[in-house]
Structure 1
Amino acid sequence: MIKKIFLTILVWVIATLGCFAQIFACDNADDDAYCPLDTWVIVFAVAAFVFAAIHLYRKQKSLQA
């Protein structure tokens, strides 16, 4: 069940990522002045997902012990 939910969320995030984050906006920029804030949304989303997964894993592990 958890694997299905995880895969569904992962597919949804990957499918909608190009709509919300301007991935290729900073290819020609020499400094960060020309990069939109949305460029770092990908990094923040991945970091939040990793921290949430670690937290839930530890919480589940402590409940089973």
Structure 2
Amino acid sequence: MFAVFKREFFGFLNSMVAYMAIGIFLLVSGLLLWFFPDTSLLAYGYAELGGFFSLVPYLFMFLIP
């Protein structure tokens, strides 16, 4: 079982699609954390991540499949 997982995982990381998905996730999650006022960390004055964690599942719906 581990050998199959290892083969599939490293096969995915050898493609450009994996790096594009990781880059898109980091870009959008960074925008959610710092730029958009509804979910920004700077808007509240303290680290309130509730808005970010409520939107990340929707981001995963587009990136995971």
TM value normalised by structure 2: 0.43
TM value normalised by structure 1: 0.43
- Rg comparison, structure with higher value: 1
